[in-house]
Structure 1
Amino acid sequence: MGWRGILGCEYGIVQAPLGPDISGPELAAAVSNAGGLGLLRAPDWEAPDHVRELIRKTRSLTDKPFGIGVVLAFPHEENLKVILDEKVDVLQLYWGECTKELVKEAHQVGVKVVPQVGSFEEARRAVNVGVDAIIVQGREAGGHIIGQDALITLVPRVVDLVGEKDIPVIAAGGIVDGRGYVAALALGATGVCIGTRFLATEESNAHPLYKRKLVEYDQTEYTDIFGRARWPGAPHRVLKTPFFNDWRSLPPNENEVNQPIIGRSTVHGVEKQIHRFTGTVPNSTTTGDIESMAMYAGQGVGLIKQILPAGEVLRRLVEGAQLIIQRQCDAT
């Protein structure tokens, strides 16, 4: 059945590489130990020693496959060298060109390459360079969104594009429970990639207040008010917090530069000041005005009712999907 494994895992569930450091070794290992594919997130700057440390710490927590996500829009060459040297199971790529040369280099050391795409044309290019799977992100997703299409239209087109090739199509965007999982399978996907639901877990490195807001709030909005200077042209979906509602109409000529400092955080071992409208989400070390910081979330956030262990989230996803499919089989 459709919930069976992809990319060497027991189940077709991928935990999104939550940035900048929300999916650390504890979360990635917990997901992988439960039968899914946990993904670390590499820093958005060159930090090869830190990347090696992340990988090795995760290996100390799980003997199952796991991977690491790299945003190609930021400096990454030295980080990539370490990832390939450590022979991580999966290299997930986003927001940049996945080249044939990179895929070949990864395959030479046994690393699978999985880009995340937001359009049919991006998916076509990924197929042509020989990737191992494709994550198809719909506009329903939380965080930074690379395309404009919804999952219900984009996933079937990519599935048809892939055809008989052995390239799993993984749906991402707004999926938080077994119903969303089955819906993705009905569209032709082989698996699902889930971010917001794994944000709201015990092992997530998100700030406790951020986690509580994911349970408390049920509405999101597609915007560009956070991180305009650092990552221009990168719209995102966030929780509709009081802070966001107050500033949602931020003039297009304004950004985080010269804004007041509202907090501090240690991100991948580096101490950072957080200015108002900075796109960095609050992690467990963050201090200051947490409620005025970016809180990314997908459209499925209204279905999240409690903070759970990551393994329990995965178990409920699988059992929920199995139950729905079995009921449909029994009904026919």
Structure 2
Amino acid sequence: MLKDTDEFKDSTAKEFMPYGVGFITFWLDRQGPELLLSILRGEGDSSISHRPPAAVWFSFGDYRPYLKLIREHGAPGTRIIVQVQTVDEALAAQQDKVDVVVLQGTEAGGHGSQKAGPLINFIPEAKAALQNTLVSNPDAGLGMPALLAAGGISTAAQFKAAQALGADGVVIGTGFMPTFESPGPQRAKERLLQTSDGGLNTVKTRIFDELREFCWPEGFDGRVVRNVVTDREDEDHQRDHWRHEGEAAFKVLREDRTGTKQDWIKATAEQDYNILPLWSGTGVGLLKKQTSVAEFMDQLLDERA
């Protein structure tokens, strides 16, 4: 992680640039707190040594055991960012006095909660609940965290809509993926730009985690562009639903899953996104051409939209 940050710094400026780190929290649990401590202390063979991150972002899991470490070993200005998927989680983050709460809606690409709802409801309800806490508990020493909206946002109009709903800013993932500067494979970028009707042609699924044998906890899945694997999985679920419960039905599912896994291994070598997962939010259909990051940002911040 320090090496990647150092390479980014060298490619963009001679002076030190503030950097942030993000963690899948349940993965950090498996590594232990020493990893976070080493980053906060700037340890390692890197020219950013002794410079704590400007921000630390936690997603998916219980971040609370790490707050004390950051507040004791990070820089005084190190910001704590927490991604949540429900109003109750947003309220808990406020109680923990984090600086930024990211409201991740069901529209988001990549991994998220299976219980997440759409941003059009999530943003205003979460903001109202947080503000109500301040009004009803004026002596609790709580503040209003900055609210960022994440999920399916690719255009200036959507950015403004999120702000109108109560967000202070937005988090964008899929929108940057097809840019020239993105390190992703060109085939993946082309497939994203060919995808239309993102609400229909992306789907939330656990199948790719199962095929990769990557152990995400129950309750989480990932939104991807529909392909042969997700279509096959839909067929499996339909067949499993309508068949009688019994060994014969499960035998069919096991055989189909084995074939899918073999196809997936082959596709990895060939970069075949008819089979490989292409993580994407519902806003993918609004991406029409490959641009530079600068051009994408200009479009996103266009006041005329």
Taking structure 1 as the reference length, what is the TM-score of the superposition?
0.69
Query: Match of 1:224?
Result: 206
> Compared with structure 1, are the counterparts of its residues 296 and 58 closer, same or farther at alpha carbon in structure 2 (3 Å cutoff)?
same
Query: Match of 1:24?
Result: none
CA distance, structure 2, for counterparts of residue 259 and residue 243 of structure 1:
7
User: 1:259-290: per-residue Cα shift (whole Å, max 9, x none)?
Assistant: 64557xxxxxxxxxx588xxxxx7xxx64544
Asked if residue 68 in structure 1 is aligned to residue 49 in structure 2, the reply is: no
Structure 2 residue runs without a partner (length 5+): 43-51, 135-142, 241-252
CA distance, structure 2, for counterparts of residue 291 and residue 52 of structure 1:
34
Q: 1:113-128 counterparts in 2 under 5 A?
A: 113-128=80-95
> Compared with structure 1, are the counterparts of its residues 65 and 235 closer, same or farther at alpha carbon in structure 2 (3 Å cutoff)?
same
User: 1:94-138: per-residue Cα shift (whole Å, max 9, x none)?
Assistant: 110120x52232133222110111001111111111111011000
Structure 1 residue runs without a partner (length 5+): 1-50, 264-273, 277-281, 325-332
Letter in 1 for 2:36: L
User: 1:282-304: per-residue Cα shift (whole Å, max 9, x none)?
Assistant: 7xxx6454431111111111100
Query: Match of 2:35?
Result: 79
Aligned with 1:97 (options 62, 73, 78): 62
Q: Which one has the bigger strand percentage? A: 1
- Identity of aligned pairs, percent? 26
Aligned with 2:2 (options 43, 49, 52): 52
Report the 3-state secondary structure (helix = DSSP H, G, I; strand = E; otherwise coil) of the residue aligned with 1:249. Answer: helix
Moved more, 163-172 or 137-146: 163-172
Asked if residue 194 in structure 1 is aligned to residue 194 in structure 2, the reply is: no
Moved more, 190-199 or 60-69: 60-69
Query: Match of 1:306?
Result: 289
CA distance, structure 1, for counterparts of residue 66 and residue 100 of structure 2:
15
Query: Match of 1:323?
Result: 304
The root-mean-square deviation of aligned C-alpha atoms, in Å, is 2.6
Taking structure 2 as the reference length, what is the TM-score of the superposition?
0.74
Give 1:160 shift: 2.0
Aligned residue pairs: how many?
253
Q: 1:92 touches 1:114 (CA, 8 Å); kept in 2?
A: yes
Asked if residue 137 in structure 1 is aligned to residue 123 in structure 2, the reply is: no
Give 1:207 shift: 1.6
> Compared with structure 1, are the counterparts of its residues 162 and 57 closer, same or farther at alpha carbon in structure 2 (3 Å cutoff)?
farther
CA distance, structure 1, for counterparts of residue 288 and residue 179 of structure 2:
11
CA distance, structure 2, for counterparts of residue 82 and residue 308 of structure 1:
37
Query: Match of 1:179?
Result: 157
Decide which structure has the larger Cα Rg and report it. 2
Query: Match of 1:155?
Result: 123
CA distance, structure 2, for counterparts of residue 300 and residue 288 of structure 1:
23
> Compared with structure 1, are the counterparts of its residues 155 and 247 closer, same or farther at alpha carbon in structure 2 (3 Å cutoff)?
same
CA distance, structure 2, for counterparts of residue 189 and residue 181 of structure 1:
9
User: 1:77-96: per-residue Cα shift (whole Å, max 9, x none)?
Assistant: 34322321231111111110
Letter in 1 for 2:80: V
Give 1:178 shift: 0.2
Query: Match of 1:297?
Result: 280
Query: Match of 1:213?
Result: 191
Q: Which one has the bigger helix percentage? A: 2
Report the 3-state secondary structure (helix = DSSP H, G, I; strand = E; otherwise coil) of the residue aligned with 2:295. Answer: helix
Query: Match of 2:140?
Result: none
